[in-house]
A and B are shown apart, each in its own frame.
Chain A
Amino acid sequence: MSKNTISAANRHKTILSVILAVVSIVYVLPVLAVVINSFKQNTFVKTDTFAIPTGEMSAGFDNFIKGMTFGNYPFMKSVMYSVVITLLSTFLILLCTSMAAWYIARVDSVFCRAIYFLCVFSMVVPFQMVMFTLSKTADKLRLNTPWTIPVVYLGFGAGLAIFMFVGFVKAIPLEIEEAASIDGCGPVRTFFTVVVPMLKPTMVSVGILEIMWVWNDYLLPVLVLDINEYRTIPIHIQYLKGSYGTVDLGATMALILMSIIPVIIFYLACQKHIIKGVAAGAVKG
């Protein structure tokens, strides 16, 4: 191979790098717009959206202070509810669906296959199909608080998690569990001491998918929770927009910034796992 073709290929790659670098900058501009507007006086957000807030435009940290109590609802309360609901739901889903999936894969009876089929089926059902009846049922069973709504998430989200866990359990050789049972390990102990450690990578993938889903979910909590009392971050932000005639855009941008910073930190910290989890969950419907 001649030197010329190699250097031509390298030149092409450099050009592509430059193009993608420009696209990347364009890609982060919306986030940058949120940052600059969260430091801007409200009246200038609409007229000078893309200007750097200096001089009279600058609001300093006023928007962040105002945002804390914006809409007659403390922002930190919605952060707390979002955290509680996300963590509890994810924990409950991981625990219960991994147990169920292991049972389904190992016992493999007609009943188990029927449940598995229902799980796969539930993945293609859009939420609108069940949203009205589900919210009424949840109300009736008092699943309408941040501490009980994880049961609803477990119910509606079980399909994908079980689907992913079953796929993984079937790939684990039975011999390890057999050895444990010969050593006198009962099924419960076998599951928690032998199977769970092997499931860890899948747990991380499923966990990340569930965290991303529950944290960003708007419709399910808004229908199930009593929103005068409990607002998650998406509900809070939607209500600022919906219930106010004239919205303080500067303060809203400050809230949005505060709500995406933890997400971006979480992303940068466990990027590898997140991307792997998403790729693994791509089979969902």
Chain B
Amino acid sequence: MKNKKNTNSNSIKKATRRWGFLFLGPVLIAFTIGFIWPFIQGIWLSMCQFRLISDAKFIGFDNYVKVFQDASFRHAFWYTAMFAIVSLVIINVLAFMVAYILTLEIKGSNLFRTVFFMPNLIGGIVLGYIWSMIFDGILGRYQTSILLESKYGFWGLIILMCWQQIGYMMIIYIAGLQNVPGDILEAARIDGATSMQTLFKVTIPNVMSSFTICMFLSLTNGFKLFDQNLALTGGQPFVIQVGGTTIKTTEMLALNIYNTFYSSNTTSQGVAQAKAVVFFVLVAGLGLLQLGYTRKKEVQQ
């Protein structure tokens, strides 16, 4: 019986295999154009000097040396790291709090959920524009603007990202909280645990996987942020350093890479591509690190 079944599924496999060109072909072609080839070419070009691609000349690791000497890139790195960490903490604490309250079956929780999630559907460019109007409406009363002080730009972007992301993370936390088995909560209650003890000793360890996902997401979201950064401040205010280099004080990594690519400087494309590779290693590495760390914690629970 079992044998017969195997031969049957094997013959299906064989029949399916013949149609590989139809099932896999379109995706393979598009994936090659849209990802595999640009990725390989990108790695190669990070070691070249070029303006277009046809004029690429191999120069080894010079671009990478320039990347780490670039003061604007170093500034963007620290600025982005700060931003990612601060937004990670604030967004996750608030999102978890809201999710926790909403799962207590309070009145109107469906309506609240609808409202909190709504900003998530608005695109980054539009979000940046909306908030720059609001911040300037407030700061204008004190004769200043979000474009004039980098700390306004920083906290402005944090507020914007909270507004956009809390609802998203909240959804993931709600899903996690609803999966906590009711009987262990009941058991904790019968054992006389206070609601705070239940929260920290029972509920939170049981939604650890939601924390994994959310912290991973907000960290990489923070690092990859582009649209909102471009539309809210575009890197302003600019500061000219003693050496003559311009530092765009609120410019994050993704925007720094973009500006290096499309600057008027004819030799910067190679450096920009090298920055992009460093950026990729950073984002991918962070994600893996975070995932590994929280997975380990999950197992211990």
Contacts and interface: CB of A to CB of B under 8 A. Distances in A.
Contacts of A137: 33, 37-38, 41
Contact of B34 (A154, A191, A237, A253): A154
A204 interface: no
B42 A154 contact: no
B175 to A, nearest CB: 5
Interface string A30-54: 1101100100000001110110000
A282 interface: yes
Given A133-B53, A263-B122, A241 B116 contact: no
A222 B53 CA distance: 19
Interface in A214-258: 215-219, 233-234, 237-238, 241, 249, 252-253, 256
Interface residues of A, number: 99
Interface residues of B, number: 99
Contact of A237 (B129, B217, B284): B129
Contacts of A50: 137
Given A129-B277, A130-B35, A215-B123, A264 B118 contact: yes
Nearest to A100: B27
Given A129-B276, A212-B121, A46 B137 contact: yes
A206 to B, nearest CB: 13
Given A106-B16, A129-B39, A27 B116 contact: yes
A28 B115 contact: yes
A125 B217 CA distance: 14
B38 A45 contact: no
Contact of A249 (B133, B230, B272): B133
Interface in B10-55: 11-13, 15-20, 22-24, 26-28, 30-39, 41-42, 45, 52-53
Contacts of A33: 130, 133-134, 137
B121 A124 contact: no
Contacts of A217: 123
B101 interface: yes
Nearest to B221: A285
17 contacts: A27-B119, A27-B163, A49-B133, A50-B137, A103-B16, A128-B224, A133-B38, A133-B41, A133-B273, A154-B27, A157-B34, A218-B226, A218-B230, A253-B133, A264-B121, A278-B171, A285-B216
Given A33-B130, A50-B137, A134-B35, 14 more contacts: A13-B104, A13-B107, A16-B104, A45-B133, A96-B26, A125-B35, A128-B226, A129-B280, A130-B38, A133-B38, A156-B35, A263-B121, A263-B122, A278-B117
